[in-house]
Chain A
């Protein structure tokens, strides 16, 4: 377990290095690119000095890492405020959306997967899996607007955009969670079918327990382990999805902040958003791995 934790340190360092290098990937002069072609030379020089872009690369890198350890992500070029503070302000909204989407996904996927496995090969199975296939192919940037057309514009049941009560959360969470739901439903079905072949379930069946009871009372709990793992591993996809969903529904989270700051060429803020999402993703993957070992003692990290 300690080994698994230790293995994430070089990965985190790599992530930080890549995010640091982003600014240096900008073609031409980064300071000029941030201010636009028309900016006066004096302003460009001032910004270059402010960002210490005139220092040797290695020195910049060491400073970047040092600041990072202190939780300092620099200053936004546009608002002149701390990047860390701006991001911290947006975190609750993004996590609210991400967790709501994962909740929606589980609520849809588990019943669908169980039904498909319980009536394997039947019409129910085929219909559930066809829905799941479709759900995986539908882009969330299409589903979002479609849901908005139907439920917000035509029916007027839910607000079109913004953050507020639970009613504001429904459409973004559903449009973000559906692709995950589709994947989890397939996973639940496959995992449950595998579990139903296990000797202990067959023994229970041989004692005269109905298939439905075998599914619910015996196989279901164990079959959830891989499903929960996938849920954890897919957290990154959900976080990336928030970039799109937040843009569609004007949801005030990190994703929307990222896209807006790209539009303003506010690169310190872009770096901060990307770093936060990537580090969260690494952390959740680590937690998933550790939880997996805890849930299933057969798998332990030496």
Chain B
């Protein structure tokens, strides 16, 4: 990499030191501070969800239901799912990295609606507090999918409260998406045309479309469940003339696109990292950009593939199976383009790139197994087994979470003004990769061999124990891999080397600001005259040559 100047030792004013005190954080409208508020909150919920995962894996070490009883186990996997999905994965990248970077990448001072951005965080906190309260006072045991009529007519756990918590958090998600779409349309700097936008922006734009159009449907579903449960209606209860599948249609109409909310931002990060650490423009930029939109649109067409054995008509199953194959195409387009970007690139193996490589392999496996599940014949055999569990963890953890960690490392110098310790970071990436595969690969085998999901007691299938032991062992390794970045990121905030403005010599407007940036990001509005990922130009400049000034 060309040398970047070391940050001067003088204390410059930036968004972190401009104002001090709790009030300056709790009433901020600076998108960067809001991003950090989110960072703290979602990390908290990640550890809550992880705690439930730990208990699940500990229980599954032995076939008998000896650590916890089935009723408690039901609560464990339910709350693991609800917390991880609604309070970690869905907000994580958009609310942290998206909030921080979207305005900077397009050359704006802030998002279009800064106060709504802050409101969005408060809604997340309120929803999170409601969910915490619910879990601490008895919890829910329906699975994160809270299918009816169990959730409406039979269970005596706190469905309404959990549902309302998710409703509030969903509103937070809608407002974030709304903010991003308006910002990306209206606040791009002069010269920042659509075809010059970083792919991170395209990814967040597509994600926002899903958040806007999908989340309201689960919101109304929650309202209906709450009404039905409270008044003993029969909208979803077959004994009273209702159809449980109606719930599933409405639930999955959101929850399938929701998984694309989780993965698209991560794909955006991977594009940024691969371009920077191959020193090349992303191959097939427009294909990768449009594939994000395609994933968002096609993602709305496939929801009933979660219902193949639930009782939908066989014709509907055929149609949804076919449509599910179509949604894999844009994802594959991305994987091929990233690989083509690597080809003849000048590869560096810094920690962000290690996470990107991990993403490539693990997302591919997760995605392919999704296609297996989309095939009706296979799905009948492996649905509701650990095969499905392994599939979605490969995508959400091996994909989305790896991308998130890669992004946190990549932009950490910008966010904090400090460098994280590279040696520890590479080690952590390796530990995460190994731990992840040790945890979840055995689950493919378990599922294929027939171990059902959501079972605390598998003592009628004791032959599954050995694979479960591997999986639990892996989860311990994975946990260590997650703890390490927590520790060294915090450590770096005080003891890390001050970061230069552009330590990676990366393309992108965000790197043309101070590290950490000032409150309004740019002193003067940037005027963009170059294409995205102009690494050939960047690397061709002699080290002492000034980059085009953006103020």
Q: Do A and B bind each other?
A: no
